[in-house]
Every structure is written in structure tokens, then in C-alpha cells.
Amino acid sequence: MTDPDTTDPTKPTPLSAEQKQALVVQRKADAKAATQDYHAEEQALRDKTAKLRAERLEREKKAEPSSPKPRAVASSTSRS
């Protein structure tokens, strides 16, 4: 026979109203912190992308010749 005083470790113990409320408050705080972290990471990514884009454009500007070369015009006649 099983002892009725022992509790099943797989069965969760019921929470009191105060414990439930504390759990709700904690989850809301966790959600708010997670959202703030997400937005901060997204902003950091946008800032890094803008910085890298500016650096790339600056490199491309320095690499370009001061006066652009005229492009060669392809002839419209086809070889047969």
C-alpha cells in the first residue's frame, strides 16, 4: 500500500493566489526585459550596418578614378 501522506514528486503542488500573482508579475517583468534586449540588439545591428555601409561607400569613392572613363559602345552588327 502507498502512504497517503507522501506526495507524488511528478505532480506539481498547487499554488496559492499570492504565488500565482507573483508568478504573473515575474513573467511580465521577464517579458519586458526580453523585449528591451531584443530592441537593443536590433538597434545595435542597424547602427553597425550603417557604419559599415558608410565605410564601404567611402572606400568605393576613393577607389573610383577622378574622371569616369567613357564606356565602350558595343557594335550592333552581329557576326555570322
Is-contact 7 13, C-beta < 8 A? Answer: yes
Q: Exposed (0-12), middle (13-18) or buried (19+): which is 65, by Cβ within 10 Å?
A: exposed
State the Cα–Cα distance between residues 10 and 51, nearest whole angstrom.
53
How would you write the pLDDT of the chain (80 residues) with one tens digit per residue? Answer: 455 556 677 888 898 999 999 999 999 999 999 999 999 999 999 999 999 999 999 999 999 876 666 677 666 665 55
R_g (Cα) of the chain, nearest Å: 33
With beta carbons less than 8 A apart as the criterion, state whether 56 and 49 touch.
no
pLDDT attached to residue 32: 97
Q: Where are the domains of the chain?
A: 15-62
